[in-house]
Structures are given as C-alpha cells and as structure tokens.
Structure 1
Amino acid sequence: MDIKKILGLVLTLLGIGGLIYAAVLYVNGSGDFKVLAVYGILGAIFFFSGMGLIRRTGNPNH
C-alpha cells in the first residue's frame, strides 16, 4: 500500500471522528458554539483532504 493512501486513510478517519464528536457534543448540548465549530471545521477539513488524497492517488496496477 502506498504511503499517500495510508495518509489519506488516516486523515479521513480523523475527520470522521471529529465530525462524529462534534455531532455528539451538539446532541448532548454540552458545548458552546466555538467548540462545536472548531471540531466540525477541523473534522471537515481532515475528511475532505483525506478523501481527495485517496482519490488523487491512482492505482498503479490498473
């Protein structure tokens, strides 16, 4: 497996975790807007950068 795909997978998983954590904080009502915005924005940035890195990295076997 290529190092770029591994990094893309890690970034994607971190992004999913950040978005889920922000959603849990929102549902529980335990968190002000700044905290929710930070986790949500960072989660989105990590998620979309990881997905873009995976998509840009082509499969060398095909």
Structure 2
Amino acid sequence: MSEKRGRVRFCRLGTNPLRQELDWMLGYHREVEARLDRLEAFLENDDPNRTEKDR
C-alpha cells in the first residue's frame, strides 16, 4: 500500500502476504526438524561399537 503526501510517497507492507510466508516457513521448519530427528535416531542406533555410556 502506498500513499502520496505532497512530493513524498509513503509505502507500507500489508500483513496478509507476510502471514502466508510465515506459515510456509513454519511448516517447512517443522518438516526439517522432523527429518533431523529421524537422522539423529538413525545415527544413534547405527553404530554397533557405541556403548550406552556414549549415548
């Protein structure tokens, strides 16, 4: 949105598009966190030489 006052144009960002972008980023963040959690679980269980003390 923009508004002209004299020779100056004032611009503002709307909240709707930013809200959509934030929702997308939060969803993507949750997906990445879930993938990293699964990778961590895999790596912890994959090393046969690892002892309980190392975990």
Give 1 or 2: higher helix fraction.
1
Select the structure with the greater relative contact order (CA < 8 A; seq sep ≥ 6): 1
TM-score by length of 2: 0.49
TM-score by length of 1: 0.44
Give 1 or 2: higher strand fraction.
2
